[in-house]
Amino acid sequence: MRILSWNIVSSKSTTLPTLTPTTEWSTNHAAISPVGYGTSILVFEILIPGSDRSWYSMKTFEAMLSALNADIICFQGICRSQGAYYCEFNMLLEMKISKSSLDRPLACPGAFQGYFSFPVSNKGYSGVATYVNTQSGVRPLKAEDGLSGLNQGKSMLSAQDRISDSSSYPSTSDEPFDFFPEDDGTTPADLQSAGLDNEGRTIIIDCGLFVLINVYCPAETSESRLPFKMNFHRLLEARVQSLIDERREVLVVGDINVASKPIDHGEGSLASRQTGFWDHPPRAWFKAWLKDDGGPMIDVVRMFQQGREGMFTC
Distance of alpha carbon 212 from the chain centroid: 9
Would you state the pLDDT for residue 15?
A: 40
Would you state the pLDDT for residue 164?
A: 94
Within a domain: 171: yes
Would you state the pLDDT for residue 121?
A: 75
Within a domain: 249: yes
Strand 3-7 vs strand 142-145: parallel, antiparallel, or unpaired? unpaired
Q: What is the CATH number of the domain that holds 137?
A: 3.60.10
Number of domains in the chain: 1
The range of the structural domain enclosing residue 132 comes to: 3-304
Question: 118: closest CA among 109, 126, 130, 110?
Answer: 126
* C-alpha angle 284-289-295 in degrees, rounded to nearest 5: 125
Within a domain: 57: yes
Q: Exposed/middle/buried for 49, CB within 10 Å: 0-12, 13-18, 19+?
A: middle
Within a domain: 309: no
Within a domain: 314: no
Phi, psi of 238 (to 5 degrees): -65, -40
Within a domain: 312: no
- Residues (pLDDT < 50) of the chain are 11-31, 33, 35-52, 81-96
